[in-house]
C-alpha cells in the first residue's frame, strides 16, 4: 500500500485526538475512495455523452454520403477520363 501524508491545522489535530474510537486513516481512505469513484463515474457519463454525440454525427455523415448527388454519375467513367487525360496537357495532340 502507498503512503500519503496530509497536513491539517494543529487545532483540528487536537480535536481529532479528543475523539476516541475513530480510525482516521480508514476514514480518510474511505473518503478518498468515494471521491475517486464519483469522479470516475462523472467521466464515464461525459464519455457516454461524447460517444452518443459522435455516433449521431457519424450517422448524419453516412446518410449524406449514402445519397448519390447525381444518379447517372459513374466513378468508372471518371477514372477512365482522368487516366486518359492525365498527361495529355504535356503531350502534343
Tell me the pLDDT tens digit for each residue of 25-38: 999 999 999 999 99
Residue 53, C-alpha cell as written in the block: 454525440
Identify whether 86 is part of a domain: no
Identify whether 37 is part of a domain: yes
Identify whether 81 is part of a domain: no
Residue 75 confidence class, pLDDT cut points 50, 70, 90: confident
Identify whether 76 is part of a domain: no
In the chain, the N- to C-terminal Cα span, in Å, equals 81
Return the higher-pLDDT residue of 78 and 13: 13
Identify whether 55 is part of a domain: yes
Q: What local confidence, expressed as pLDDT, does residue 19 receive?
A: 94
Range of the domain at 32: 23-67
Among 10-14, 39-43, 70-74, 81-85, the range of highest mean pLDDT: 10-14
Identify whether 85 is part of a domain: no
Q: Residue 27: CA atoms inside 13 Å, Cβ hemisphere, count?
A: 5
Q: How many domains does the chain have?
A: 1
Q: Is 80 exposed, middle or buried (0-12, 13-18, 19+ CB in 10 A)?
A: exposed
Identify whether 43 is part of a domain: yes
Tell me the helix, strand and coil percentages in the chain, rounded to 5. Answer: 70, 0, 30
Identify whether 53 is part of a domain: yes
Residue 87 confidence class, pLDDT cut points 50, 70, 90: confident
Amino acid at each position: 500500500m502507498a503512503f500519503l501524508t496530509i497536513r491539517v491545522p494543529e487545532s483540528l489535530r487536537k480535536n481529532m485526538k479528543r475523539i476516541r474510537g475513530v480510525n482516521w486513516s480508514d476514514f480518510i481512505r474511505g473518503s478518498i475512495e468515494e471521491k475517486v469513484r464519483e469522479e470516475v463515474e462523472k467521466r464515464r457519463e461525459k464519455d457516454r455523452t461524447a460517444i452518443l454525440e459522435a455516433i449521431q454525427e457519424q450517422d448524419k455523415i453516412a446518410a449524406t454520403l449514402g445519397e448519390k448527388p447525381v444518379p447517372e454519375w459513374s466513378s468508372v467513367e471518371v477514372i477512365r477520363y482522368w487516366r486518359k487525360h492525365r498527361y495529355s496537357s504535356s503531350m502534343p495532340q
